[in-house]
Amino acid sequence: MLMQTADTNATNGTVGQPITYEKIPTQIFADSKEASTAVALEIAELIRKKQKEGKMCVLGLATGSSPKTVYAKLVKMHREEGLSFKNVISFNLDEYYQMEPDSIYSYHRFMKEQLFNHVDIPKENYFIPDGTIPPAMLREYCISYENKINAVGGLDFQLLGIGGNGHVGFNEPGSLINSHTRLITLDHSTRAAAAMEFGGLHKVPRKAITLGVAPILSARRIVLLAWGERKASVIRSAVEGPVTERNPASYLQAHTNVSFVVDESAATELTRVKTPWAVDSVVWDNKMIKKAVTHLSQSLRKPILKLTDKDYNDNGMSDLLAQYGAGYEININVFNQLQHTITGWPGGKPNADDTNRPERAQPAKKRVLIFSPHPDDDIISMGGTFQRLVDQGHEVHVAYQTSGNIAVADDEALRFIDFVVDFNNGFGIDSPAANKLFLDAKEFLKHTKDSEIDTPEIRQVKGLLRQGEAKATCRFVGIPTKQAHFLNMPFYETGTVQKNPIGEEDIKIIENLIEEIKPHQIYAAGDFADPHGTHKVCWDAIEAALERCKHKNYMKDCWVWLYRGAWAEWDIHEIEMAVPMSPDQVLKKRRGIFKHQSQKDGVVFQGEDAREFWQRAEERNSATALLYDELGLAEYEAMEAFVRWRF
């Protein structure tokens, strides 16, 4: 569902007019799929309009995860609705330098796989910067690339993504508004964000060719896409902040026909979403009250029970007081709600009044199914709760949804195979097959090119390595390895970061496991920051399976709890169950994470955060506990938080 677009001009607060802080029209959709469909329809309409006029349609196209669904929708319209691209000329924003066009990391290959190979655009009509141009010819090449755009009349439509530091194209912070197509040195944060695709930061190119800010702004229409909470802060800065080279996306404020298209997660820092009562009148239901009061408490750095009527009046919440009376009564209500989320019994406390507890007392011993997208998400994201459930006598199963094989470094795989060979030799086991596997793997990894993916044998070795680490964690926590289920969902097994869409087989695997265990509790990863990431796809499969199972009798007694990963936590007003941990429990969780040795001391997909996963998890858990403490509740060493998902 499309939410109302903000006005582009701020008002002075006149009665009847909502105040807006947004300087760029911003459309908020429920999710990236709906948003992408809307953008694809706009592009298709433009193409058809130009066709009727007998004109070429000149598109500026982006790469990365954000536009993938847009391209998929355009391909579908081509196949099912006859949308033709014969009158389309396209220019891509950027390309890594130096980069061979057939590399699995190149934007040439990306665009062909995502769009060009599936539609009828003539090969001579699409242009992508050449990452192989000799250095001495770069300046001339960049000028000619921009001249080609001008020669066809300029860009009718420019599609953009946005980097975590505000870059558009590869115009990094510091780029000037009048910058043109050029070679640029990539910011460290940009390279870190791309490390996942490249299999490590050290493999990410340091430079790229990018269309400049000036030719981007010359497009007659611009649409910028942003998905996920990781983009929320930079979106707010670009939309509501000053125009600055520190956030190149803010230059778009100067364009007369631009829209930001974001999902709800990417919009969370916008004023109208974060503090809607400061922008317009709101419906003061319980959810809004809890959000407003916790925000007020955090902003003023005052415990909830110390908030005064003056605090409410001074911060745009006078109508809440008028509707519900004294602030103290509101404070008590919200404080009690937060207090009731805290429990040391995540599976429910037997023989206890559960009226105000997040979980049911019965059945006293529950069957619990923890879904872990990768082989370490269970212990990283909810290791303390996992341990509590086991210690309190519940039958806990863990379902590792994917093999996680692409996150294993090549030298780790070789070390693993080498051990098998040495083991066989040490015990007199004649295994020519193991010896051959080692030699073949060593030779392949020594000469592999960027355009090649790991062999099936190497991927299997990497998967077995991670499977062994997951089993070690289960033994450490205290469950038999027969309760560890390795699902190896097919969508993941492509050998590259780019995965297939979930299919019937993926959903059926989840459905069959739920049917087998008949759980009273399900825990699943609910961090959907990147809608094209593994966690989101894994959840989509779970959700589809739950939809099929929900009418069965055993599902009537099943509750689903969502946890988040090592990078972010639920907002305090969203949390419905908070499981505290003592200092000793935090250390035990750390030791459980250490069982995943292949993910320590140089993680393949480090991301922008240089810390190891145990450090990220501990910081997140301690921050959650500190927040409860600052709001005036009990002080704990750490907390893991959950939100209940309802059928």
Integer CA distances (angstroms), 380 to 33, 457, 505, 578, in order: 29, 28, 28, 16
Can you tell me the distance from the alpha carbon of 327 to that of 339, in angstroms, rounded to the nearest whole number? 18
Asked if 69 contacts 32 with a C-beta cutoff of 8 angstroms, the reply is yes
DSSP state of 614: H
Fill in the amino acid letter for 430.
D
Can you tell me the distance from the alpha carbon of 27 to that of 4, in angstroms, rounded to the nearest whole number? 7
Residue 172 designated active-site: yes
Asked if 349 contacts 363 with a C-beta cutoff of 8 angstroms, the reply is no
Catalytic residue among 172, 412, 469, 640: 172
Can you tell me the distance from the alpha carbon of 186 to that of 171, in angstroms, rounded to the nearest whole number? 9
Burial of 329 (0-12, 13-18, 19+ CB in 10 A): exposed
Can you tell me the distance from the alpha carbon of 18 to that of 3, in angstroms, rounded to the nearest whole number? 15
Helix boundaries (H) for 53-137: 68-81, 107-114
Return the sign of the alpha-carbon dihedral for residues 469, 475, 480, 483: negative
CA angle, corner 566, sides to 594 and 475, nearest 5?
Answer: 35
Asked if 150 contacts 214 with a C-beta cutoff of 8 angstroms, the reply is no
Can you tell me the distance from the alpha carbon of 616 to that of 562, in angstroms, rounded to the nearest whole number? 19
Taking only Cα atoms into account, the Rg of the chain, rounded to an integer number of angstroms, comes to: 27
Which pair of tokens denotes residue 263? Answer: 């999902």
- Look-up: residue for tokens 């995502």? 114
Asked if 64 contacts 194 with a C-beta cutoff of 8 angstroms, the reply is no
Give the residue from 120, 119, 115, 121 showing the smallest Cα distance to 72.
Answer: 115
Asked if 380 contacts 593 with a C-beta cutoff of 8 angstroms, the reply is yes
What secondary structure does DSSP assign to 142-199, as a single string? Answer: HHHHHHHHHHTT--SEEEE---TT--BTTB-TT--TT--SEEEEPPHHHHHHHHHHHT
Can you tell me the distance from the alpha carbon of 119 to that of 78, in angstroms, rounded to the nearest whole number? 6
Which SS3 state, helix, strand or coil, does residue 207 take?
A: strand
CA angle, corner 101, sides to 98 and 106, nearest 5?
Answer: 70
State residue 359 phi and psi, 5-degree precision.
-120, 160
Active site residues: 172
